[in-house]
Structure 1
């Protein structure tokens, strides 16, 4: 869905810049946040259509950020995709079952799959 807003929360600048470029070229409005704290603030302020959240960041990983987003009335309905180099089993062990997320993208990222899934998810909003 062209024009949909995507928030990328990732401390790896190279990954964030790559997603910014690829998603921007696909027609999305992309905002970057380099850590969980600024990511939650950005999500609360701008209410994106989709969030791409890195699982492994300093000062609280993705599961901490996911919990904050889901406990926030303004952001709890925003679909969040977790981006990770962890295995699916490791992610499931770290993220409680009562904290659902929209899906997983494994690093290195399949950019075509990211664009397709973000497009599909944003179109449902």
Structure 2
């Protein structure tokens, strides 16, 4: 069974890059265009790992992390933040909210896949 990834990013380009890279590495990818979309898809997708951007309309990545961690379904799923942001205070805020890791865009396919395999147990 393929490990499932829920990729949440408002950039269509990033969602497509993630889909191509991760599906090529054997992951099943579901995309969401913002935090509200991602959180609403989360229970049905039942992902093994979530990748979320921070800066998005409607609900940002911190809201996504908070909603998943406080939810009744799969609240311990690994959550990776994939963002252009690199400020230590934002990383600390994400970690405190319950993020598992932080990856700065642009991402390296090999490194991202390695991290996803490690946190998803794939």
SS of equivalent to 1:39: helix
Task: Provide the alpha-carbon RMSD of the alignment.
Answer: 1.6
Structure 1-normalised TM-score?
A: 0.90
Q: Distance in 2 between matches of 1:35 and 1:61?
A: 7
Residue segments in structure 2 that go unaligned for 5+ positions in a row: none
Q: Distance in 2 between matches of 1:111 and 1:96?
A: 23
SS of equivalent to 1:95: helix
Of the structure 1 ranges 33-42 and 85-94, higher mean CA displacement relative to structure 2 is found in 85-94
Residue 60 of structure 1, CA deviation: 2.3
Matched, 1:77 2:76: yes
Partner of 2:55: 56
Structure 2-normalised TM-score?
A: 0.92
Residue segments in structure 1 that go unaligned for 5+ positions in a row: none
The superposition leaves residues 42-86 of structure 1 with CA deviations (integer Å, 9 ceiling, x where unpaired) of: 111121000000111012210011100111010311100001111
Partner of 2:35: 36
